[in-house]
Amino acid sequence: MLMMDRFRQWQATHNRSYLSAEERLRRFEVYRSNVEYIDATNRRGDLTYELGENQFADLTGEEFVARYASSHDAGGHTDSVITTAAEADGLWSSGGGDDSLEAPPPPSVDWRAKGAVTPVKNQGSQCFSCWAFSAVATMESLYFIKTGKLVPLSEQQLVDCDKYDGGCNRGYYHKAFQWIMENGGLTTAALYPYKAVRGVCFRAKPAVTITGHAAVAKNELALQSAVARQPIGVAIEVPSSMQFYKSGVFSAPCGIQMSHAVVTVGYGTDASSGLKYWLVKNSWGQTWGEAGYIRMRRDVGGGGLCGIALDTAYPTM
């Protein structure tokens, strides 16, 4: 198939149009460069993951990172922090209570299979709100674990009302949890739907409350023990190849400039490659990756691939 025909087909699939012929030509050149990179990468044959032409195929790497992977502010306060891997193996730090881990974590966990994870959402390209999606997703899952009820909660309420974060201009999930505590909880997505733009805050009756928030130690063993108990918010660096991730265990070289917040909802071992992985829920919609998820290589040492274990967050109830 000719590249222009391929581009037209991609446009139709993703309902993409442009304001001028000049812009369309420029986007075609970006698309062609990206497709050549995708095809060359997939031809290598030595990788454990595959790339594909997704909704981001007409964006340069710089544009993609600026729009979708630059909204998590590093650093913040935690009410309770697990300080060592040994503590993570033996304790669940929740500001009190009798939650203890008396046995090693199981070899695999998938909170989706337990019904504890809401469908993948889409933060959009104009609102830097991954921090809100990560915080909300961990609350949704923990509420299900505690009550058996899976209730989609409102990212928009955080975008509009959270005075500690920047709305559509970056934020940090620990600060979001702090605001939720002070607000008396968070309302539902049905009552306060996502608009992908910061609007006027209006008061809405809280549906789910939290008692605190915490982090785990900065290593993968601690993170595994934590994820065995509930989905955990994590921050990652987004390398250029992740823009086009389609399937498999992602293992591309990656740094630790974590600027994107996501949620680890499980872990396991890939049957075909034998690689251990983290199961990560993203907020880029269901047409990216494995229906909105990415499996990232686990047990690589240090703070994990792309810094996945270095800046974590979870709520307590």
Q: Which residues are catalytic?
A: 130, 260, 282
Please name every residue paired with 81 in a beta bridge, in sequence order, or none if there are none. 215
State how far the Cα of 101 lies from the Cα of 103, in Å rounded to an integer. Answer: 6
> DSSP E strands: which ranges in the chain?
49-51, 80-81, 109-110, 212-215, 232-236, 245-250, 260-269, 276-281, 293-297, 312-316
With b for 16 or more beta-carbon neighbours within 10 A and e for fewer, the 287-311 pattern comes to ebbbebbbbbbbebeebbbbbbbbb
Kindly report the backbone phi and psi dihedral angles of residue 266, in degrees, each rounded to the nearest multiple of 5, phi listed first: 170, -175
Please name every residue paired with 297 in a beta bridge, in sequence order, or none if there are none. 277
Residue 237: CB partners within 8 Å, gap ≥ 6?
254, 255, 256, 257, 258, 259, 260, 306, 307
Please name every residue paired with 248 in a beta bridge, in sequence order, or none if there are none. 49
Kindly report the backbone phi and psi dihedral angles of residue 156, in degrees, each rounded to the nearest multiple of 5, phi listed first: -65, -35
Asked whether the beta carbons of 281 and 212 are under 8 A apart, the reply is: no
> Parallel, antiparallel, or unpaired for β 232-236 and 109-110?
unpaired
Other beta carbons within 10 Å of 10: 18
